[in-house]
Structure 1
Amino acid sequence: MKSILFTLVLSAFLVGCKSTEQQAPTPPSVASLLNAANFEHIELTDPKLFALPDDEQKRFLDYFTKRQGKGLRDDQILYHYLENKLTNFNYFSATLNAEQTLQEHEGNCISLAILTHAYAQLVGLKTGFQAVSSEPVYSKQNNIVYVSGHFRTKVYAPLNEDDNYLVPPGSIIDYFPSRGSFYSGHAELKDLISRYYSNLAAQALALKQFDLSYSYILKANEYTPNAPSLYNLAAVLHRQSGDLAGAKHIYQTAIQYGFKDTNLLHNYAVLAKQLDDHSLAEQLNSQLAMLEQDPFELLTTAINARNNGQFYKAKQQLEDAIALAPYLSEPYVELAIISYQQGNEQSTKEWLEKAIEIENKDEKLALYHAKLFALKDQH
């Protein structure tokens, strides 16, 4: 039995930041890579993901309205309601809609995110979602390799139109927190819904219900047609149903467009072994070894190199650390320090702004802002 960790985020930084991204070619959708001739599409019923029973809606709205304007932000009222409601919430691997999660008092992180959003939309609060990475935990079932992932919800505080927060205030609700976990990317409502259907597809696949799994993958594709996890799931479906060539084509396409997450590479390696392709298996295992390096070891090596004046080596180590863990702010700060020591103040500012953009801990944000403001005050 696990209790939920609720973390209030009280950030109040009022500066903007900038980022630039190169436009990459759009990869083909997962649906376009499926071999439809091998499967029968099943019409899925509407799960009504965010619907709550009428009596629960009334109970929550009464609680919410009685506490408005009494010292708590609206998102904090929701946070306290969930804290009281789900104190003894049980971790369970099933993926459920809001009503099922409430009735069963159990579910996985996707289930709780769905339930949280259901309450938030009742009172007009905006939500955001965060993918969270931690040390990978591997499991294997029916010759399918699974690597754990995690999802948490942020309920945003109501803002005035003229507010311009770098990190908008709100409450982070984490269903199954683990030590050593890190923010790895922003997610939207469409990502949450896609995860719901993807999880159901994986459950059907484990039971060898291939047509049902195929149908859930198609549904998830409507929300995230280029999700790396969905490419992997589609490829595993083809491999499990006997279409090894189709599975290999999906993996090759995904890698061609830069999708190389741990799940995908592990399962592609399983396929390579099944195809008796030793060269491919060795190549994939090498890529996995790179992905599984410790970014903190690289960061430590880079700091030592910087202290010894080996700036080129330090930059290489930091770039490798960023490739492994782009959600960590520390490598960007180290690059800023190197740029400053080399007299490149513009580059220093850009690296600090990047660190500020991705960091979500208030104490680090305050430090990074202070460094950035100090640079700007020099001119």
Structure 2
Amino acid sequence: MQNWLSGSLNLLQTKLAAEKQCVQGSNVSETNRRSATFFQLLLAIAFSGVLSGCNSVKITPSSNELFQDSMFRAPTAKINPDEVFALSDEMSTYLRKEQVKSNILRNGLKQGLFKMISNNKSMRIEYDAEMTRNAAQTFSSRSGNCLSLVILTAAFAKKLELQVQFQKVVQDNSWSQSDNLMFAVGHVNVNLSKKATSNIGSYDGSQALIVDFMPSENLQNQKTIPIDEKTILAMYMNNRAAEQLSQNQIDEAYWYAKEAIKQDPSYLSAYNTLGVVYRRHNNLHQAEQAFREILKYDTNNLIALANLAELLQKSGRLEESLVVTNTLHQLQPVAPFYYFDLGKKALQNDHPVEAINLIKKELDRDPYYHEFHLWLALSYIRLGNLNEAKKELALAKENSITHSSFDFYTSKMERLNASLSNSH
């Protein structure tokens, strides 16, 4: 079963002890089996950018009901939101370099900053979804996800007195998974403009410049929704909570999830993350409260519904769980990774042709997820079709989102190339 969280790169699921759990017994219909993959714990994160659930509805949670600090160990380090956009000494020194100042004088503030981040060899940021970093960490490591890039850009832009407008990109969520977690990935970027002279607080989008990890040709018809800095801070905290959960650091995850809600109470993804924290901590009553808090404001929230259904099943409330499961199936008949999971099982049962057909169905829904291409390559290898396997491994490498996965696929391709050379 799957539980859902929405988030900034968007949503996380944690698989339970059983790879797939669903309501047991004769009440499970064949149609419900297809939606059974909904039931893993889902979290929402912002690896590429933005979490879902950025509602304008005013939400004022009761801390006495939602937050149970006494259940968790104190955080190992203070969580300080002021550090997210703070410039390090290294960043300030960089801005004072003559080549940087001359670049800004030559190209103007916006273009100068853009070129500094995207084209300058000494600072070019590489995409890496391993961890959501604050501005100083992103600058130091020269790597980060889309949210990290947005934060770094905004930090420099503020120092240069540019106007900053954060944006959530409206798109279908893509999905990824890591160990026992599943992520629904959204996207954010940042628009830069000069501060309007007539109104310092206003935003002039007519001369705006978008800074985004996405290739420029993909930005042309992009639909976006303006979001506040408080939402970016909530996304950052929510991502960090999800990342802590992926490392089984449940106590640390609690404090980040709490801080996310504190930064923006209308950011529903953070409530889902908090619910998953409680669920992993075996505080089922508190987890249910968090999931139901989301459904008060968004009755069709797939992530909250899926997590709630799993929790009800875990609690032995099977009839209630089945009702929620049926609602999920009506909203989304085929859950994320449904065909992929079937494809993996087919390959494990030595049915590579069936595996290829199933995994290709998943690729039709998300052609860029690297793990789909990996398993397709493995299926072709099982058939002895090494040339097709090589193509799929190349696509897996091209679409990898962390340095470690890139290195993994590079190694696999080298071994496959060696096999192809030996076969000739």
Which category of TM-score, normalised to the shorter sequence, fits these structures? 0.5 to 0.7
Higher relative CO (Cα under 8 Å, sequence separation at least 6) belongs to 2
SS at match of 2:226: strand
Deviates more, 1:89-98 or 1:267-276: 267-276
Q: What is the percentage of aligned positions where both structures have the same residue?
A: 24
Q: Are 2:195 and 2:204, in contact at CA under 8 Å, matched by a contact in 1?
A: no
Measured in 2, the distance between the counterparts of 1:142 and 1:241 equals 18
1:264 aligns with 2:274: no
User: 1:280/1:108 Cα in 2 relative to 1: closer, same or farther (>3 Å)?
Assistant: same
Following superposition, the deviation at residue 31 of structure 1 comes to 7.5
User: 1:285/1:27 Cα in 2 relative to 1: closer, same or farther (>3 Å)?
Assistant: farther
Kindly provide the amino acid, as one letter, of the partner of residue 250 in structure 2.
F
Which residue of 111, 117, 123 maps to 1:82? 117
Deviates more, 1:158-167 or 1:259-268: 158-167
Following superposition, the deviation at residue 242 of structure 1 comes to 1.0
Q: Are 1:40 and 1:211, in contact at CA under 8 Å, matched by a contact in 2?
A: yes
Measured in 2, the distance between the counterparts of 1:168 and 1:271 equals 48
Measured in 1, the distance between the counterparts of 2:289 and 2:141 equals 41
Q: Are 1:201 and 1:214, in contact at CA under 8 Å, matched by a contact in 2?
A: yes
For residues 35-85 of structure 1, the C-alpha deviation after alignment (integer angstroms, 9 at most, x for no partner) is 334223325154722333445424324456435665x44212211221223
TM-score (norm 1): 0.61
Kindly provide the amino acid, as one letter, of the partner of residue 209 in structure 2.
S
Following superposition, the deviation at residue 271 of structure 1 comes to 2.9
1:154 aligns with 2:199: no
Aligned residue number for residue 327 of structure 2: 283
Aligned residue number for residue 207 of structure 2: 169
Following superposition, the deviation at residue 261 of structure 1 comes to 4.0
Aligned residue number for residue 116 of structure 1: 153
Which sections of structure 1, spanning at least 5 residues, go unmatched?
Answer: 1-22, 293-379
Measured in 2, the distance between the counterparts of 1:193 and 1:97 equals 10
Q: How does 1:194-273 map to 2 (within 5 A)?
A: 194-258=234-298, 260-273=300-313
1:128 aligns with 2:162: no
Following superposition, the deviation at residue 162 of structure 1 comes to 7.0
Aligned residue number for residue 369 of structure 2: none
Measured in 1, the distance between the counterparts of 2:71 and 2:199 equals 55
Measured in 2, the distance between the counterparts of 1:40 and 1:215 equals 9
Which residue of 96, 108, 132 maps to 2:133? 96
Q: Are 1:28 and 1:226, in contact at CA under 8 Å, matched by a contact in 2?
A: no
For residues 213-253 of structure 1, the C-alpha deviation after alignment (integer angstroms, 9 at most, x for no partner) is 11111222221122111011011111111122222222122
User: 1:228/1:115 Cα in 2 relative to 1: closer, same or farther (>3 Å)?
Assistant: same
Aligned residue number for residue 44 of structure 1: 78
Following superposition, the deviation at residue 140 of structure 1 comes to 4.1
Which sections of structure 2, spanning at least 5 residues, go unmatched?
Answer: 1-55, 337-424
User: 1:262/1:176 Cα in 2 relative to 1: closer, same or farther (>3 Å)?
Assistant: farther
TM-score (norm 2): 0.55
Kindly provide the amino acid, as one letter, of the partner of residue 80 in structure 1.
K
SS at match of 2:263: coil
SS at match of 1:138: strand
